[in-house]
């Protein structure tokens, strides 16, 4: 393991974090923590129109929700700041000037019309359209003429030719020929740097040792290696994480459902489950284990175990992890997570009812798949005016009058039971079924419907014990009244 890695996440401030970037953040975080290194957050906010403080805050929120704390960043500072790309103009400019000075880059005075015409001609010839570098062969007279006409030049990097490659931490040695890479723009007409230029200047000046990001950036990495070379800088180590695809092996799109952290959170997924799910989008432990906490991953994760094969995004897997994590929590933790969802869903859980909430939640723990299930699932525990729908009773072997009479007997027994405990309730109700000569199910279902208002609930005796004697009595009475009305 490398010690003291300096790694970074470099998100554009979009207001939320996409699953692909969250995975990148997670894996960088793990590498930083396990190597005793530094996890840096650099906000790539050069697209000024789309950037604002609120959107940046959305990134912080998402990372904090996942517990991926960063060591350097816009809000915490650090020795390599500033950590917003928009504030690093001078750093970028210096690199651009150096490239211009050494003729590795040039001002391109071709016009948009000329480049469009070139493209069309290439397409007409059946070629892949690519900028030919014609700006390099303009004469000084032509340039002067264009300057006079107000053409604002972009700065392009002259890619040249010859092998360009790097050792990818996941994919092994990768190589292409520089002649395959068109002369790309590194600075706009207004002097600001474009992505490849800014990222190289920033990664270099921030002493980043490992750049770990999605494989959708591999083609950029070749360009970046060329820039490092032209600047005489040592490139960092690169590793690319496998592409994220949907189950049909296509690029993820909106049609594949939620992919943003904020959406997962709102839908009642646990950050633990999201972390567990994300690490398997590329990594595997090499054995059957599938449950990993963030701390465990700090010990276990390695780039060597990241697969080259595309990672398939399957939300059912996330659901699976969510269920497993929900059942793995101790009651205090589960209650702490569930309470905000209960309240947001309208359950009136006040301070005095925390214990009651927790006891009720314990009965539901097996059945919850998302925290958003909580308000509906637990509604009957908190509904003071629960009005059971007696039509849910099927009256197959016993009619309404018989059922009403049985519920009246239950009421009396509930009132008199010395101790309202699970065991006592069970003994009482089984004894009654026997005395009446009813199948237990025929007796228990109307009781269940009376006290909970639904047919599917946690086990009846436990549920009644948690509801308590008073709630059960009121509800049994109401059900009976409706049956005899």
- Positions in the binding site for ligand GLU (CB under 6 A): 10-12, 21, 44, 199, 213, 217
- Taking the complex as a whole, the smallest distance from the CB of residue 70 to ligand GLU amounts, in Å, to 14
- Taking the complex as a whole, the smallest distance from the CB of residue 221 to ligand GLU amounts, in Å, to 9
Tokens of 377: 């699932």
| Residue among 12 and 403 whose Cβ is closer to ligand GLU | 12
Task: Name the catalytic one among 55, 247, 251, 254.
Answer: 254
Contact between 460 and 485 under an 8 Å Cβ cutoff? The reply is no
- Taking the complex as a whole, the smallest distance from the CB of residue 16 to ligand GLU amounts, in Å, to 13
Contact between 424 and 418 under an 8 Å Cβ cutoff? The reply is yes
Tell me the C-alpha distance between 56 and 58, whole Å.
5
| Residue among 223 and 337 whose Cβ is closer to ligand GLU | 223
Task: Give the chain's largest Cα–Cα span.
Answer: 110
* 38-41: strand order across its sheet: 38-41, 6-9, 210-214, 237-241, 163-168, 172-177
| Residue among 12 and 463 whose Cβ is closer to ligand GLU | 12
- Taking the complex as a whole, the smallest distance from the CB of residue 123 to ligand GLU amounts, in Å, to 28
Give, to the nearest 10 degrees, the angle between helix 19-34 and helix 271-279. 80
Whole-number Cα distances in Å, 98 to 117, 135, 208, 231: 31, 19, 20, 7
Query: Beta strand 6-9 with 38-41: parallel, antiparallel or unpaired?
Result: parallel
Contact between 32 and 5 under an 8 Å Cβ cutoff? The reply is yes
- Taking the complex as a whole, the smallest distance from the CB of residue 10 to ligand GLU amounts, in Å, to 4
Helical ranges in 111-159 per DSSP H: 112-124, 140-148
- Taking the complex as a whole, the smallest distance from the CB of residue 346 to ligand GLU amounts, in Å, to 38
Query: Beta strand 311-312 with 105-108: parallel, antiparallel or unpaired?
Result: unpaired
| Residue among 213 and 265 whose Cβ is closer to ligand GLU | 213
439 annotated active-site = no
Q: Which letter, b or e, does each residue of 95-104 get, where b requires 16 or more Cβ atoms within 10 Å of its Cβ?
A: bbebbbeeeb
| Residue among 220 and 484 whose Cβ is closer to ligand GLU | 220
**What dihedral do alpha carbons 219, 220, 222, 227 form, nearest 10°?**
160
Q: Please give the DSSP secondary-structure letter assigned to residue 367.
A: T
| Residue among 166 and 341 whose Cβ is closer to ligand GLU | 166
- The catalytic residues are 254
């Amino acid at each position: 393991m490398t010690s003291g890695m300096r790694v970074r996440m470099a998100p554009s401030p979009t207001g939320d974090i996409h699953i692909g970037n969250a995975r990148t953040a997670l894996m960088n975080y793990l590498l930083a923590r396990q190597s005793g290194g530094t996890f840096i957050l650099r906000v790539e906010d050069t697209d000024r129109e789309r950037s604002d403080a609120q959107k940046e805050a959305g990134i912080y929120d998402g990372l904090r929700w996942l517990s991926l704390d960063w060591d350097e960043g816009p809000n915490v500072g650090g020795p390599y700041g500033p950590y917003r790309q928009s504030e690093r103009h001078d750093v970028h400019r210096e690199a651009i000037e150096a490239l211009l000075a050494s003729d590795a880059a040039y001002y391109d005075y071709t016009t948009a019309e000329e480049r469009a015409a070139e493209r069309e001609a290439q397409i007409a010839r059946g070629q892949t359209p690519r900028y030919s570098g014609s700006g390099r062969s303009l004469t000084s007279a032509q340039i002067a003429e264009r300057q006079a006409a107000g053409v604002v030049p972009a700065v392009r990097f002259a890619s040249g030719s010859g092998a360009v490659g790097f050792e990818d931490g996941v994919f092994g040695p990768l190589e292409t020929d520089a002649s395959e890479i068109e002369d790309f723009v590194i600075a706009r007409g207004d002097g600001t740097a474009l992505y490849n230029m800014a990222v190289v200047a920033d990664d270099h000046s921030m002493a980043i040792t490992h750049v770990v990001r999605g494989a959708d950036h591999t083609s950029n990495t070749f360009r970046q290696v060329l820039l490092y070379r032209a600047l005489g800088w040592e490139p960092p180590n690169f590793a690319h994480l496998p592409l994220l695809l949907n189950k049909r092996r296509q690029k993820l799109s909106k049609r594949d459902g939620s992919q943003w952290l904020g959406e997962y959170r709102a839908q009642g997924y646990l950050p633990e489950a999201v972390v567990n799910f994300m690490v398997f989008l590329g990594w595997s432990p090499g054995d059957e284990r599938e449950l990993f906490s963030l701390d465990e991953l700090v010990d276990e994760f390695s780039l060597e175990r990241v697969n080259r094969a595309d990672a398939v995004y399957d939300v059912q897997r996330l659901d699976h992890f969510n269920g497993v994590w929900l059942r793995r929590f101790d009651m205090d933790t589960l209650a702490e997570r569930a309470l905000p969802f209960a309240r947001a869903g309208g359950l009136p859980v006040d301070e005095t009812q925390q214990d009651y909430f927790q006891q009720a939640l314990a009965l539901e723990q097996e059945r919850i798949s998302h925290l958003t299930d909580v308000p509906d699932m637990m509604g009957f525990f908190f509904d003071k005016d629960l009005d059971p729908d007696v039509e849910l009773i099927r009256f197959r072997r016993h009619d309404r009058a018989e059922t009403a009479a049985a519920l009246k007997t239950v009421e009396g027994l509930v009132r008199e039971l010395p101790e309202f405990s699970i065991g006592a309730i069970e003994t009482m109700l089984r004894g009654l079924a026997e005395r009446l000569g009813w199948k237990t199910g025929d007796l228990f279902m109307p009781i269940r419907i009376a006290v909970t208002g639904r047919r599917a609930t946690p086990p009846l005796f436990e549920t009644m014990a948690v509801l308590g004697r008073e709630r059960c009595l009121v509800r049994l009475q109401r059900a009976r009244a409706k049956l005899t009305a």
